[in-house]
Structure 1
Amino acid sequence: MKLVIQAFIASVIIHLIYIVCTIGIGYIKTKFYKPDISGSWEKVDYLQNEVAFGMVISPFFFVFSLVGIAIICGIIIFLYKNFIRKRVF
């Protein structure tokens, strides 16, 4: 049971790091964006009528992702502990 809890905690930490990094990179790109005003007049493009922000992802995707990463972390923790046991004794 301890292995399952450790794997779940590792999965949550990995997901939090991914979300924080994604938001941080977006913030940094937005903060330091400088439009090229003089270059935009060289080529004229027609604008779109619709704009989409982000995408729709099913909540089940996050559950499956969390469980999948927890399984992978559990396997890694299990193999690591077995390797350490064999090496120490």
Structure 2
Amino acid sequence: MKRTLLTLALTLSAAAPAMADLALATSKNCMACHAVDKKVVGPSYKEVAAKYAGQKDAADKLATKIIKGGSGVWGPVPMPANAQVNEAEAKKLAAWVLTQK
């Protein structure tokens, strides 16, 4: 019984950050234009993670784009600035996006 509870606790603790960051992305309206595994208006988070894989400053670049917006990287549709996202939230979202495989 203890082993089962420990396994369950470890599984839930590993899933909780991923779900929390998906919840943050949803609450900040990121999911209106993005999805984890398919293009919506903007690229999927898996595509973003693949594009920035191995770049040391990727999380900082993405956090800046989340806050200020950007254009030209993924085509003609610009990403608008997200004034409702603060710096800590942008960093958390960027780190989460980069974990999508």
TM-score, structure 1 length as denominator?
A: 0.32
TM-score, structure 2 length as denominator?
A: 0.29
Larger Rg: 1
Which gives a bigger RCO, structure 1 or 2 (Cα 8 Å, sep 6+)?
Answer: 1
